[in-house]
A and B are shown apart, each in its own frame.
Chain A
Amino acid sequence: MTHRSERRGIHVDQSELLCTKGCGFYGNVAWHGLCSKCWREENSRAGHKQIQEDHALAERLQREEEAAYASSQQGASQPQPKPQHAIAPFSKFEERKTKEKSRKVHTMSKFFTTSAKTPPKKVPAEAQSTSSPSASRRPVETDRATQEFISFLKTLKPGREIFKQCRAFTEDMAYKRDLAADEMSEYVQDFYQNLSDRLHTHFKGSSERVESVMDEVERYMMTRLYEGTFCPETTDDENKDLAIQKRIRALHWVTIEMLCVPVDENIPEVSDNVVKAITDVIEMDSKRVPRDKLTCITRCSKHIFNAIKTTKKEAASADDFLPTLIYIVLKANPPRLQSNIQYITRFCNPSRLMSGEDGYYFTNLCCAVAFIEKLDGQSLNLSAEEFDLYMSGQVSPERCKAVPSSAEPAALSQMNKSLDLLTGLGARQERVMEGARRLESDLIDWRDGVQHKVQDVLERFPLETQPPPSSTASSSAIDADNVENDLLPPPLQPQLFAG
């Protein structure tokens, strides 16, 4: 396409407009020069190719696995160990899987007698696309998750099996969206538990290795399952979200002093950290994977620690941290707070949630929410009447109460500072505008000057257009001025010779 734009003017070959496939229809730049039909074909082929690649990889991993298994089997040459405990060979595994699948279908048919025609053995490509009914709506993100997951598993020996199990499970979950949230959670948690146990015992992974695998498993599965599992309709998560949101709005009047937050927002660095913490806790809602959500909470907590440390000049303890976190949550009013907490609790890898640093910050967030829900006058060192007045919005703390001395002047001075800054900015803006105007008038002057000069030159050396000599009367006849034309002998006539 580029060379077309290089040419000047509208000079396009007819052939360039046509579909590059040569089907005779007109093509479109947006479809890489293809016509709509060819583009659709091409596109679906690319999708298929992706799926096939995944499968090829899965096959390859299986072959490697089998080879490894065969060699170990030759070495040991024993009968297979008991299937319950040791890793079943792949043929076994396959067999069990098909058995399971048929059983699943059997169960399914009981649930939906009309849809009993589900083929027992699914084409895997199809399975992948049906793994979540809404997959078509957001293929980009899930596909990327799949890709990343596969490339991560490439480095592992049992990679193929892990992938297969995860995919089968995810697929299976898609049918289970009518389950209550707690059941889904149990289901997923059992899967995590079984898989990590297997990794521990059969594949002899070290704890850290297993953890990292489990993280990727969680990322892959939850990216795919997010839609069905986040704030499911079977729960009242949404109502809780609205309730806490309303509650936080009603508590807008709570100040740093009431909560005894050890943070001084007059220090620019501190207020900067407070803003960052607020941003992070809000960002949590935009993530799909429980662990990513946890990471947001952790980042938020780190900013809080920075703020406390800058203010107090000592390492923050929980006594400082929790009130500050409560303050941040009140300020941020994070969207769908309860849903997010429930989602993390239900579907996060338990080892991360229960021990680990992330788990600690998450627990603190839960505490903050619980505190906000139960908050009363006493916990803010207010009398019950005062609290009620503030809550009903009849009175705001600043007006009726002798505000703690530092609060208002501090805010005022901050405001004045900001105002000064704004005035300064205004002046600078004015100067810039003036400069721009000057530049503009300079340009105009320059242009006029140049025009003048050109005019001058033209006047001094007027352009004399000399008519080409003697092309006046008979420009058409070539030999018009050939005067002796008539004197020429007549043209030769052809003569015939006889014989």
Chain B
Amino acid sequence: MASGGGAGGSNKTYSFKVVLLGEGCVGKTSLVLRYCENKFNDKHITTLQASFLTKKLNITGKRVNLAIWDTAGQERFHALGPIYYRDSNGAILVYDVTDEDSFQKVKNWVKELRKMLGNDICLCIVGNKIDLEKERHVSVEEAEGYAESVGAKHYHTSAKLNKGIEELFLDLCKRMMETAQAEERAKGNGASQSSSARRGVQIVDDEPQAATAAGGCCSSG
């Protein structure tokens, strides 16, 4: 979680890592491309890739750097998930409202994420493609009920119509900031302590060295 707060101080920049999970074809890529570059199915492509995107935000006077990590959604890459979402602050789990299977996949992801990262991670469950409302196969009640039961927020989006996407990311950022702030408070007096606590065991000489641990000298560590 070192990337989480960027340490104390009120004018610090927050940098957050957000992973994007979901089966292939649910529109993960469209979603981020719409958000970061406001493009959808653009024939005149200038973007080289849509797998790693960044966005800078300013929320209530605080600067936030958002790094969005797309993940390969194919079933055979499922086992690689933990490598991707290690140290992430948020996860966006996308399913296709017309595809029941993709919603089941989301449930699997949620279970895994909670198991690996506990409650430190902010989860968003996103039903994409609401422009295809007529072909909906996942009911609103079911999805929202499930999200609530696992402590996640639920959103409905359409990358095609550019609906609900801004709200989704803004909300997620606010939640991640809250988590980061809570974490800072829990750690007491901020940066120096958390950093030396972060890496567990120090190589200790026989005499006690309280002064060093508190952050002064780098060549000792």
Q: What is the CB-to-nearest-CB distance from A164 to chain B, in angstroms, rounded to a whole number?
A: 8
Question: In the bound complex, what is the Cα–Cα distance between A317 and B23 (angstroms)?
Answer: 12
Confirm or deny: B217 has a beta carbon within 8 angstroms of a beta carbon on chain A.
yes
Q: What is the CB-to-nearest-CB distance from A211 to chain B, in angstroms, rounded to a whole number?
A: 11
A316 contacts B50, CB within 8 Å? yes
Confirm or deny: A285 has a beta carbon within 8 angstroms of a beta carbon on chain B.
no
**CB within 8 A of B218: which of A84, A198, A200, A315?**
A198
Interface size on B, residues (CB 8 A): 57
Stretch of B78-86, B106-114, B117-125 contacting A (4+ beta carbons < 8 Å): B78-86
- CB-CB < 8 A to B15: which residues of A? 355
Contact flag A316-B48 (CB < 8 Å), given A190-B199, A207-B6, A323-B72: yes
- CB-CB < 8 A to B203: which residues of A? 183, 186-187
Within 8 A of A (CB), among B7-29: 7, 13, 15, 17, 20, 24, 28-29
Q: What is the CB-to-nearest-CB distance from A127 to chain B, in angstroms, rounded to a whole number?
A: 13
A321 contacts B83, CB within 8 Å? no
- CB-CB < 8 A to A32: which residues of B? none
Stretch of B63-71, B95-103, B159-167, B173-181 contacting A (4+ beta carbons < 8 Å): B63-71
Confirm or deny: B205 has a beta carbon within 8 angstroms of a beta carbon on chain A.
yes
- CB-CB < 8 A to A187: which residues of B? 203, 221
Question: In the bound complex, what is the Cα–Cα distance between A370 and B76 (angstroms)?
Answer: 12
B49 contacts A321, CB within 8 Å? yes
Confirm or deny: A138 has a beta carbon within 8 angstroms of a beta carbon on chain B.
no
Confirm or deny: B147 has a beta carbon within 8 angstroms of a beta carbon on chain A.
no
Residue of B nearest to A182 (CB): B201
B72 contacts A370, CB within 8 Å? no
Confirm or deny: A378 has a beta carbon within 8 angstroms of a beta carbon on chain B.
yes
Within 8 A of A (CB), among B195-220: 195-196, 198-203, 205-207, 211, 214-220
**CB within 8 A of A200: which of B33, B51, B52, B191?**
B191
Q: What is the CB-to-nearest-CB distance from B214 to chain A, in angstroms, rounded to a whole number?
A: 4
Q: What is the CB-to-nearest-CB distance from B94 to chain A, in angstroms, rounded to a whole number?
A: 12
- CB-CB < 8 A to A370: which residues of B? 79-80, 83
Interface bits B132-171 vs A (CB < 8 Å: 1, else 0):
0000000000000000000000000000000000000000
Q: What is the CB-to-nearest-CB distance from A3 to chain B, in angstroms, rounded to a whole number?
A: 55
A317 contacts B214, CB within 8 Å? no
- CB-CB < 8 A to A315: which residues of B? 29, 33, 45, 47-50
Q: What is the CB-to-nearest-CB distance from B88 to chain A, in angstroms, rounded to a whole number?
A: 9
Confirm or deny: B87 has a beta carbon within 8 angstroms of a beta carbon on chain A.
yes
B17 contacts A355, CB within 8 Å? yes
Confirm or deny: A220 has a beta carbon within 8 angstroms of a beta carbon on chain B.
no
Within 8 A of B (CB), among A183-203: 183, 186-187, 189-191, 193-195, 197-198, 200-201
Confirm or deny: B60 has a beta carbon within 8 angstroms of a beta carbon on chain A.
no
Question: In the bound complex, what is the Cα–Cα distance between A323 and B24 (angstroms)?
Answer: 13
- CB-CB < 8 A to B200: which residues of A? 186
Question: In the bound complex, what is the Cα–Cα distance between A314 and B77 (angstroms)?
Answer: 22
Question: In the bound complex, what is the Cα–Cα distance between A97 and B216 (angstroms)?
Answer: 12
Confirm or deny: A88 has a beta carbon within 8 angstroms of a beta carbon on chain B.
yes
Contact flag A318-B71 (CB < 8 Å), given A190-B196, A191-B221, A194-B221: yes
**CB within 8 A of A318: which of B51, B79, B83, B214?**
B51
A354 contacts B205, CB within 8 Å? no
Q: What is the CB-to-nearest-CB distance from B79 to chain A, in angstroms, rounded to a whole number?
A: 7
Contact flag A354-B51 (CB < 8 Å), given A84-B216, A195-B218, A197-B215: no
A197 contacts B17, CB within 8 Å? no
Confirm or deny: A153 has a beta carbon within 8 angstroms of a beta carbon on chain B.
no
B76 contacts A319, CB within 8 Å? no
Question: In the bound complex, what is the Cα–Cα distance between A315 and B214 (angstroms)?
Answer: 48
Confirm or deny: A360 has a beta carbon within 8 angstroms of a beta carbon on chain B.
yes
Interface bits B19-58 vs A (CB < 8 Å: 1, else 0):
0100010001100010000000000010111111010000
A322 contacts B77, CB within 8 Å? yes
Residues of B in contact with A (beta carbons under 8 Å apart): 2-3, 6-7, 13, 15, 17, 20, 24, 28-29, 33, 45, 47-52, 54, 65, 67, 69-74, 76-77, 79-80, 83-84, 87, 191-192, 195-196, 198-203, 205-207, 211, 214-221
Residues of A in contact with B (beta carbons under 8 Å apart): 83-85, 88, 96-97, 100, 103, 106-107, 165, 168-169, 172, 183, 186-187, 189-191, 193-195, 197-198, 200-201, 207, 260, 302, 305-306, 308-309, 313-319, 321-323, 350-351, 354-357, 360-361, 363, 366-367, 370-371, 374, 378-379
Other A-B pairs, 5, CB within 8 Å; known A106-B205, A186-B201, A191-B218: A316-B48, A354-B3, A361-B52, A367-B83, A367-B84
Q: Provide 6 A-B residue pairs closer than 8 Å at the C-beta atoms, listed in order of the A residue.
A: A85-B192, A103-B207, A165-B218, A169-B218, A187-B203, A371-B76
